[in-house]
């Protein structure tokens, strides 16, 4: 039975990484370690325009989010 992202329980774990470049590097290397990029058509802004992250899933259905630090808004 597939679990919906709206069901009770853990949906995914999020990890803060040091930079956008690190998000990109980890997302690029992830398939070599059994992870698939989720939402590739919206990557790296699947969480919104100001949210830079990679959403990954492994063969067992575990999901992780790798989040870059928020950048200052331009004025």
d(CA 68, CA 20): 5
Whether pLDDT at 52 is above 50: yes
Q: CB–CB of 13/64 below 8 Å?
A: yes
Position 10 scores a pLDDT of 76
Give the β-pairing of 13-16 and 53-58.
unpaired
d(CA 41, CA 50): 16
Mean pLDDT of the chain: 87
Q: CB–CB of 62/34 below 8 Å?
A: no
Whose CA is closest to 68, among 22, 28, 31? 22
Position 27 scores a pLDDT of 97
pLDDT digits (tens, 9 = 90+) for 16-50: 999 999 999 999 999 999 999 999 999 999 988 88
Whether pLDDT at 1 is above 60: no
């Amino acid at each position: 039975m597939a679990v919906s992202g709206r069901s009770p329980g853990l949906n995914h774990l999020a990890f803060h990484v040091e930079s956008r470049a690190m998000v990109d590097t980890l997302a690029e290397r992830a398939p070599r370690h059994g992870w698939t990029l989720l939402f590739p058509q919206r990557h790296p802004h699947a969480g919104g325009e100001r949210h830079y992250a990679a959403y990954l899933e492994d063969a067992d259905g575990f999901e992780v989010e790798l989040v870059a630090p928020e950048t200052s808004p331009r004025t």
